[in-house]
Amino acid sequence: MVCFCFLVDQTRKVRQSKPAAGICSRCGGGASVADMKTATRFCYVPFYWKTWRAIICTFCGSILRSYR
Ligand SMILES: [Zn+2]
């Protein structure tokens, strides 16, 4: 599958988010619960995607915790 690696990429989007308790361990910003959507693309054509929930930092965007 090595030859396919450069053709496959992933995009990550936040569909919706709402404030949550907690602060970011990296920058100290506020946390929020977000519904994430990850799309896997092959030659820029999405062929697989999934939604998942995570707690992310609203300031720097790092993922503090994820629920799969
Ligand atoms: Zn942060």
In a domain? residue 42: yes
Give me ligand 1 centre to Cα 64, in Å: 8
Give me ligand 1 centre to Cα 18, in Å: 15
- For the entire predicted model, the pTM comes to 0.71
Residues, CB within 5 angstroms of ligand 1 (ion): 24, 26-27, 29, 57, 59-60
pLDDT digits (tens, 9 = 90+) for 34-62: 999 999 998 888 899 999 999 999 999 99
pLDDT at 21: 93
Annotate 2-67 with three-state secondary structure.
Answer: HHHHHHEEEEEEEEEEEEEEEECCCCCCEEEEEEEEEEEEECCEEEEEEEEEEEEECCCCCEEEEE
Give me ligand 1 centre to Cα 1, in Å: 35
In a domain? residue 2: no
Could you tell me the residue range of the domain that residue 41 belongs to? 8-67
The total number of structural domains in the chain stands at: 1
In a domain? residue 1: no
In a domain? residue 3: no
In a domain? residue 34: yes
In a domain? residue 37: yes
pLDDT digits (tens, 9 = 90+) for 7-34: 888 999 999 999 999 999 999 999 999 9
